[in-house]
Amino acid sequence: MKKIFIILSLITKIIINANELNISLLIDNSYLKTEKKLLPSYTTKDLEISFEKNNLWINTDGEEDIKGRILLNTQSLSTFITINKKKELLFKQNEFNPYGQKVITLTCNIERKVLVFVQTQFGSNSSVNPWFIHFEPYVYEIDNGIVTKNLEIVNKYFYGNEYFQRDIVDDPDSNQFSYPYFNEEKILNRLYETGTCDKELTQKANIEVLVGDKWIAQEQSWNIKKEEISNTIQLNLNEVLKNLKEKKETNLPIENLNEILKNEELNQKTVQKYNDIAYYLQQKNVNNEAIFLLEKIIEKFPNRIVAYLNLADAYDGLGNKEKAKKNYGKYINLMKQDNKEVKIPKRVLEYK
């Protein structure tokens, strides 16, 4: 009996860890800029769901608000359904922030109807703290080619009337509810357990979707998409920082830093992580790369005090005493202005 309990405990722990890993990956990807990324269509042999993003406002100048936070582009999303070569608008979602954008689409069966489930997700924006991912579910029933929206299912089973219940927050100390239906498996299981879809009928229907030029079983296609995501995920800010902390990463070429900056912009939300990366690089004596990143930080955040200390240390590591002294001086002045003179390290005050 004790062995069975231990095995069950281990299985539970594995499931929980896998769940946390999935959420961690979701959060990491929610910081990626996706305004120019196309959303793939969902195609079965009976219908197609396609998507079109529309820019409502584009911030091309890196404009900041009064608190120095970068104002983001705003987009909307139009979703269309095509049945028997007839295309019509399914819904338009006016809020679709251009970070971590993704749409999950699946179909299942109930009696003689086909149920279409579409769920959008996107990251929040730099004016909100803490950062969060928001999910918007939509349900439609198709009966003899007639499409009908079903709000009851969304409201009853997917927190349709509770906006903030459909968030996952990037804050371990937050008591905010974490939306549980964030991938295809969890959504479909929810549809089955609530009787919204019939599992036996759905499996008998043998739903296939078009992936590239091949027809693949719907549930199998989810695994293919996960593999594609794993293989194509670009350099990730959190992962790089974690590797540096754990000493798995000993170098980070400037071209890689440029790639990270391209994927995850340097702003109020990410500046601490970029500064930490620069600090760990400098500690490993990778000074040129640290300087490259710190100068980017100071260019955008000229009052970031610690960046001057890190930059001075990096120049000192290269033997450039003149630039090291100049940046130590800026650090000292900013610390004095902030009434933190007593916290200035003795080595900095005595630097020659």
CA 235 to chain CA centroid, Å, is: 13
Residues 228 and 241 in one domain: no
Q: Are residues 51 and 184 in the same domain?
A: yes
131, 32 contact by CB (below 8 A): no
The backbone torsions φ and ψ at residue 135, rounded to the nearest 5 degrees and listed phi first, read -120, 140
Note whether 221 and 262 are same-domain residues.
no
- pLDDT score of 10: 41
User: What is this structure's pTM?
Assistant: 0.61
Q: Are residues 184 and 257 in the same domain?
A: no
311 in the same domain as 251: yes
| Whether residue 158 sits in one domain with residue 101 | yes
pLDDT in the model for residue 175: 57
CATH number at residue 270: 1.25.40.10
- The reply to whether 214 and 244 lie within a common domain is no
Question: What pLDDT score was predicted for residue 231?
Answer: 42
Question: What's phi and psi for 108, nearest 5 deg?
Answer: -150, 175
Which H or E run includes 157?
helix 151-157
**Of 232, 262, 287, at which residue does a domain stop?**
232
Say if residue 44 is in the same domain as residue 192. yes
CB atoms within 10 A of CB 6: 10
Do 135 and 258 fall within a single domain?
no
Q: What is the pLDDT of residues 293-325, one digit of tens each?
A: 999 999 999 999 999 999 999 999 999 999 999
Question: Partners of 53 in the beta sheet?
Answer: 77
Domain count, the chain: 2
The domain boundary, picked from 196, 216, 232, lies at: 232
Q: Which pLDDT value is given to residue 256?
A: 74
Q: Which residues constitute the domain of residue 284?
A: 237-349
Domain end residue (candidates: 171, 206, 232): 232
Same domain, 222 and 269: no
**CA–CA distance, 84 with 69 (Å, rounded to integer):** 48
Long-range contact pairs involving 349-352 (C-beta distance under 8 Å, separation at least 24): 351/312, 351/316, 351/324, 351/325, 352/325
Q: What pLDDT score was predicted for residue 202?
A: 97
pLDDT (tens digit, 9 = 90+) per residue, 114-123?
A: 999 999 999 9
Note whether 271 and 325 are same-domain residues: yes
Same domain, yes or no, for 258 and 228? no
Phi, psi of 35 (to 5 degrees): -60, -30
Q: Which residues of the chain have pLDDT under 50?
A: 2-18, 58-60, 64-70, 229-233
Give pLDDT, residue 15: 39
